[in-house]
A = this chain, B = another copy of it.
Amino acid sequence: MDDRIPPHPDVRTVPLQRVLEALVDPVRRSIVTQLCDATADLKCGGFDIPVSNSTATHHFRILREAGLIRQYYVGTSRMNALRRDEVDEVFPGLLDAIVSADRESSGTLSRR
């Protein structure tokens, strides 16, 4: 009964500030990059990130509220999809520039 699919913002209403705050964290940037490189949507547990489960949940929420990812349930798994087209339309070139630069520089995720 309970559609516990959290609300997704319209990307056009998301301030640049929020998008950058989302992408400045190495873990979140890694999530976006992995989504970008994946051929299909990924469940939360399917990412290679060096943080606890609850911290991961936090990061996914930030990304969702920044309009960068779309989340939906499949059984007990929460799937994550990159909202590439929508983001590209509102912030042209941004995702590409950051993800491209991220691929080169982050062999391993530098833990602060």
Q: Mark A99-110, 1 if CB is under 8 A from B, else 0.
A: 011100110001
Q: How many residues of A contact B (CB 8 A)?
A: 23
Instruction: Mark A residues whose CB is within 8 Å of B.
Output: 15-17, 20-21, 23-24, 26, 29, 90-94, 96-98, 100-102, 105-106, 110
Number of copies: 2
Q: Which residues of B contact A24 (CB under 8 A)?
A: 17, 20-21, 24
Distance between Cα atoms of A93 and B101 in the complex (Å): 10
Q: If A17-B110, A20-B23, A21-B24 touch, does A101 touch B97 (CB 8 Å cutoff)?
A: no
Summarize A's interface: helix, strand, loop or mixed.
Answer: helix
Q: If A17-B110, A21-B24 touch, does A97 touch B100 (CB 8 Å cutoff)?
A: no
